[in-house]
Amino acid sequence: MPPQIYHHKPARPHHSSLTIPCENSQCNRWFRSVSGLKKHVRSCHVSAPSHPLPPEHPALSPPAENELESNFEPFDGQDEQENPLSNEPLEDQAQCEIEYHPFLDGRPCDENGNFLPPGAKPVLPETPSTNDWSPYRDRVEFETAELLYKKVQMSGGDINALVDLWRASFIKNGLADEDVPFANKDDLYRVIDSTSGSDVPWESFSLSYNGELPEEDPPEWMKQEFDVWFRSPHAIIQNMLSNRDFCGETNFMPYRKFSKKGEREYKDFMSGEWAWKQADKISVDPTTHGSSFVPVILGSDKTTVSVATGQNEYYPVYISIGNVHNNVRRAHRNAVALLGFLAIPKSLFYSTIFFLWSLLHSNESCSFSFANPFTFERILFFLVHQPTLKQPFTHDFPRADIHEILAPDLLHQVIKGTFKDHLVTWVEDYLHLTYSKKRADEISDDIDRRIAAVPSFPGLRRFPQGRGFKQWTGDDSKALMKVYLPAIEGHVPPDIIRTFQAFLDFCYLVRHDTHSDSTIQKVQDAVKDFHHSRTIFETLGVRPTGFSLPRQHSLQHYPWLIRMFGSPNGLCSSITESRHITAVKEPWRRSSRFEALGQMLLINQRLDKLAVSRVDFTARGMLSGSILDYVKNYHNDAMEATRALDTRAEHHNTEDNNNGDSGPVPGPLTPGYVKPSVRRLRQYSTNCHKLSVQLNQPRLVELLRRFLYSQAHMNNHDAPSAFNIPLHQCPMFNSRVVATHSAVAYFYAPSDCSGIGGMRRETIRATPLWRKHAARYDCAFVERDPSIPGIRGLDVVRIFAFLSFSHDNTTYPCALIQWFSHILDEPDELTGLWKVQPDTNDDGSPSLEIIHLDCIFRSAHLMPVFGDYGHRFIPSDIDFTNSLDKFPTFYINKYIDHHAFGLSQG
């Protein structure tokens, strides 16, 4: 039959714009419909419950008896949290004290650097009008430029084609085509280039080798001249200090913070001992008193843009300052800037770096004084260096002893270095040394199948084919660390397992958001255990020459480095690795790829100008509301913003948020809680008897009645258990029941990817069909005894349904769960992981119960005890969807994230 032909024009939908804002002041999302807004609020901004919360877990670190020094002040800052191993109540978070440096204390001054009298306020620079969009004519032009050049990265030819279509649409509707935001690509580029203010221009110099040439066949680079492009470090640092986007997230003086237990805490750079000691040395000169101390951080790493074209290696040099908080630097919010662009041989690299830093070294004290235009504080610069050097180039810098200022590098020394390049490789080497090639390959394949069979977890990166891919990223290595230890058990000797346990404990300890004297001692113990256990690789012949490895040697220096520079996660080279994408790789792809350096510099400069404009317009409240609201208000001569948006939410690092099931929660610290989905699933009946059939849970009504009995007698400790009484003594149940497939847990986890207040969310799922593939019933921690810290006070359950009903005017959000019991009272001696097994009835059926949602703390990740198979391989029918049903015992995976690791330390 021929297709039916319609002779009338089908109705076309009208444009539906993003005109409805999220009501959460920390969120910058907009929606086209009320239903879209409601769905967003239900999933991301559920309100804290009004009923009392269960007590949170106390700290897991033992107290110290340090005597506090004088000159303390109460510390009141929501982003300076207690020990990250804990999930302490809110009232405990503020019970800490801080001591500021008595001399380099960042006193306010005028624009000439003269200190103001006490209580006097500086005269702030004049702020342009909120109608001044220069160099753009209006907001439409700015957002168009940002969309085309920064977000979409549209080519010049496509920009011209889009403008032609735009103009054609205007002419068709009788509008003036000159109202198109830009005439063509050149007009767009010219407007961006004309941005004035805080952008720092590029400069260059030539460099060539001036040493003695070899007599025979000197390398070509010794005879060539190279161009080096750089920007003024003074200007870049001044921009950072005056960036209003960093307001409230910058320390202008060294400080010492002490917890309520009296332990010294190390978090951001200025909390470290190095900054305090340098301030002591500097303040010997009384003319420096009242100034702000600004440590300058340098980072560099080679990056390759293509393996198939000519010159493909670049050495970008990045600059940051130690004053901004670690979370700002990790979130890539312009706190790490491009200082130099070096496309030169490695042999000339350090000479180039020395020249760049000589621009900052202006006198004997390595200081430079100017008044910050927004905070008005006198500034002193000093150098901190990040990458490893063979020859120090900092000899003439009084605060830059190369042996003291090399900061820790978690990515290359710990994650990619010791773990992936050393330990994982050594396991493969052991297998091939011990077995035939065929048998070793079979064992490797089984390890891959075990990794692929790991149960799902919010945000967990899966390895469907195991480790069988060539290009490994830092995120891949981090994901493998979470699941590798249980996967190799049974295939390698016990001492290799102990080696991995000690190393992983070290790795998770040093990546904490905040460190204390107690956690640093644990780091030292983990290094000692690792050095003792790794000798198994020498005994087995994998490392016959020993362990003279710089990256592993660096581990023993981490306790000292933490005390010097604060938490290592604020200085990790993964921060500069991420900047490679925006500063090098993407600009290179946008270039003609022929003599691309000049084009890449221009692209970076334009991106900086767009960023400067956005920060400026946002600070003046000019980007409030949607673009259509702006246009409507513009034509109504009502330019006042309807609401202020915190655009910083755009910059949260979401490295672990691969499937949308987990992520940071914007806003301040709040008590943790679990909120069920309020979306009713129409496929389920609200009749409890019919629902029991649909859920394949014949005991559902009985369990609901026993749940009501438990709730009615929860404060009567003499009452018998609900499962020890006849069913007829339990309340009758005839209420409507709503079943849902998920709930969202909110909890404090500052060491993981979290919001400004340290809050994180994760979705716990209980669905018979996840992504049209198979059932997914997640596991969770349940609070058993709040007085017992960590996992010892928690139980593990598997959730089969989320339910909600009302009884006697009380709403009960609850969950249908199966209990898991701890096999031992202590973690497994070999792996350091707690073992659990599912509870069953006498007939082998799961031991089920209904519990209140308030009892649930957060998700738990269980991994099968693959080692129970010994040298046998796991069956081929086991995968990540059914592994929780196929194995009798499981490990509680403390390596799934930093919060879970902290719980395991109790």
Q: What is the 3-state secondary structure (H, E, C) of 82-109?
A: CCCCCCCCHHHHCCCEEEECCCCCCCEE
Residue 645: its pLDDT value, please? 32
**Residue type at 146 in one-letter notation:** E
Is residue 503's pLDDT more than 90?
A: yes
**Residue type at 436 in one-letter notation:** S
Residue with tokens 């389920």: 684
Q: Give strand pairing partners of 207.
A: 226
Contact between 65 and 87 under an 8 Å Cβ cutoff? The reply is no
pLDDT, greater one: 784 or 501 = 501
Residue 72: its pLDDT value, please? 36
Tell me which of 139-143, 407-411, 902-906 is least confident: 407-411
Contact between 581 and 590 under an 8 Å Cβ cutoff? The reply is no
Overall average pLDDT of the 690-707 stretch: 94
Contact between 243 and 200 under an 8 Å Cβ cutoff? The reply is no
**Count of Cβ atoms closer than 10 Å to residue 67 Cβ:** 5
pLDDT tens figures, 417-431: 899 999 999 999 999
Residue 379: its pLDDT value, please? 54
b/e 877-891 (16+ beta carbons within 10 angstroms → b): ebbbeebbeebeebb
Question: How far apart, in whole angstroms, are the C-alpha atoms of residue 384 and residue 296?
Answer: 5
The whole model's pTM is what? 0.79
Residue 27 vs residues 346, 614, 650, 790: alpha-carbon distances, Å: 45, 17, 9, 32
Confidence tier at 334 by pLDDT (50, 70, 90): confident
Question: How far apart, in whole angstroms, are the C-alpha atoms of residue 375 and residue 379?
Answer: 11
Residue 541: its pLDDT value, please? 95
Residue 410: its pLDDT value, please? 84
* HEC-encoded secondary structure of 619-654: HCCCCCCCHHHHHHHHHCCCCCCCCCCCHHHHHCCC
pLDDT, greater one: 763 or 548 = 763
**Count of Cβ atoms closer than 10 Å to residue 544 Cβ:** 9
Beta strand pairing call for 292-300 and 379-385: parallel
Tell me which of 56-70, 89-103, 210-224 is least confident: 56-70
Cα four-point dihedral sign 386, 392, 397, 399: positive
Residue with tokens 């255990």: 529
pLDDT tens figures, 263-274: 999 999 999 999
φ/ψ of 430, rounded to 5, equals: -60, -45
Percent of the chain beyond pLDDT 70? 78
φ/ψ of 563, rounded to 5, equals: -65, -30
Tell me which of 242-246, 561-565, 760-764 is least confident: 242-246
Angle between helix axes 273-282 and 558-565 (nearest 10 degrees) is: 50
Tell me which of 214-218, 344-348, 578-582 is least confident: 344-348
What is the CA 40 to chain-centroid distance, rounded? 22
As given in the structure block, the two tokens for residue 322 are: 């130690």
DSSP-based three-state secondary structure for 818: strand
Is residue 20's pLDDT more than 80?
A: no
Question: How far apart, in whole angstroms, are the C-alpha atoms of residue 100 and residue 260?
Answer: 17
Overall average pLDDT of the 799-804 stretch: 96
Overall average pLDDT of the 418-447 stretch: 94
pLDDT, greater one: 569 or 81 = 569
Tell me which of 74-83, 164-173, 458-467 is least confident: 74-83
To the nearest whole number, what is the mean pLDDT of the chain?
Answer: 81
Is residue 735's pLDDT more than 80?
A: yes
Q: Which residues contact 555 (CB under 8 A, 6 or more apart)?
A: 413, 414, 418, 506, 527, 530
